[in-house]
Amino acid sequence: MNKISEALDQYTGICKETIVDSAAKLSKSFEKIIIDVLLLYMVIPGKINFTQMGKYGRHGEQTYRNNFGRLRSKSLNWLRFNVSLALRYFGSEGRKAIAIDPCYLSKAGKKTPHIGRFWSGCAGAVKHGLEIMGLGLIDIDSHNCMMLRAHQTPGNFELKKRNMTLVDHYIAVIKRYRKELLKLSNLIVADAFFSTRTFYDGIRKHGFHLISRFRDNAHLCYLYEGERSGKRGRPKMIDGKIDLKKLDMSRMLPIFVDGLPGMAYTLIAYSKALKCKVRLVIWIMPDKKRKLFFSTDTSLSGEDVLDFYRTRFQIEFCYRDAKQHCGLTDSQARDANKLDCAFNASFASLNVAKVMMKERGMDYSMSNFKLLMTNTFLTKRIFEASRYRPNQNLINHIFKELFGCAA
């Protein structure tokens, strides 16, 4: 059965090695269940919930329910687990940053923890459901993202009880995981929603810089570069507002990024909203519209700022693949711990799949990979149930056909 279970053994082998690398102190029985859960997320076709796990897994449905609920007391740190996978996938070298992005998850009912009304980017409206704050590690050189942690967002009613805003909660999430995140990068990349002074001041206290995009009507100023007057008082720092329709080209440098239509220019400017100097990138698109990207770390080049922000979108593909193939929206649990485990197991199984595809030299396709894993799992299960051990050398072509069926 070695050839039949080769793909499954490699997948579970990566899970075992990662648990060891993440220094998780787990009992052998709980470790087996976690590895079994991560495998089930990759082999179950259709919806992935406790009922399906009971049908496909080696344990009963209630066993999975109980262990999902006890996960936080069992010392499995999802962040360290995923960091280990990310470094295995990207390597320790290269330009990296932390990408953050809230993600809306559709959910009916009224009894689910932290349920409320959240912004859905796909619908372009506020909808009833759940939201998770996703933390991912992006690598500029490979132009990819690996998810690190999902943290559920409380509903509006709970936030009011805690006297917090959504932005306060997002800052608290970053603060909670700051020690592990700072080991990877001190750069946080986020969309234009986070380009506010409240958010920037909140993360700056914990040692992070922000890369984001300003609103199109942001108030930005040139820096004064002339001689000092020698008079008493604060030296002159601002030298006029930046007029996006009449740019002073003598104060900025052109930058060139592969695949970027239009023209882009960079300079050090002053942001009135953030009350600080920023590395500003002005992108003039072919239709003459302007987009403003920035980094509060002024030592970065304009090319780096654009590369980091453009790579941020890779976190959206992680959400897409987790929803379509790894059951991110399928959990029917009504317990906060079980939901937390379900969200993070979904992302962890996606990360393991990425590592395995890279190490096997496969083109990245979650659809094809999941078909391979599902077909392999079912083929192995059929042979185990029939207690038949075929001659693998004679019917090797049949195995290949079974594993690649419908792929």
Predicted confidence (pLDDT) per residue in 368-404, tens digit: 899 889 988 888 888 778 777 766 666 666 666 665 6
The candidate with the shortest Cα–Cα distance to 281, out of 258, 259, 256, is 256
Token pair listed for 339: 């939901």
Backbone angles phi, psi at 25, to 5 degrees: -95, 90
pLDDT in tens, 313-334: 999 999 999 999 999 999 988 8
- DSSP assignment of 59-125 equals S-HHHHHHHHHTGGGGT--HHHHHHHHHHHHH-S-S-EEEEEEEEEEE--SS-STT-EEEEETTTTE
Using pLDDT thresholds of 50, 70 and 90, give the confidence band for residue 5.
confident
Q: Of the candidates 38, 5, 6, which has an alpha carbon nearest to the alpha carbon of residue 19?
A: 38
The amino acid at 123: A
Lookup: tokens for 144: 């990819």
* pLDDT, greater one: 329 or 239: 329
Phi-psi group of 148: left, alpha or beta (phi > 0 → left; psi -120 to 50 → alpha; rest → beta):
alpha
Beta bridge partners of 277: 270
Which residues does 153 contact at the CB level (< 8 Å), separation at least 6?
102, 114, 118, 130, 131, 132, 133, 166, 169
Q: How far is CA 194 from CA 75, 188, 197, 290, in A?
A: 32, 10, 9, 19
Task: Express each pLDDT in 346-376 by its tens digit.
Answer: 999 999 999 999 998 888 999 889 988 998 8
Reported pTM: 0.90
What gap in Å lies between CA 37 and CA 397, rounded to an integer? 30
In angstroms, the CA 314 to CA 21 distance is 26
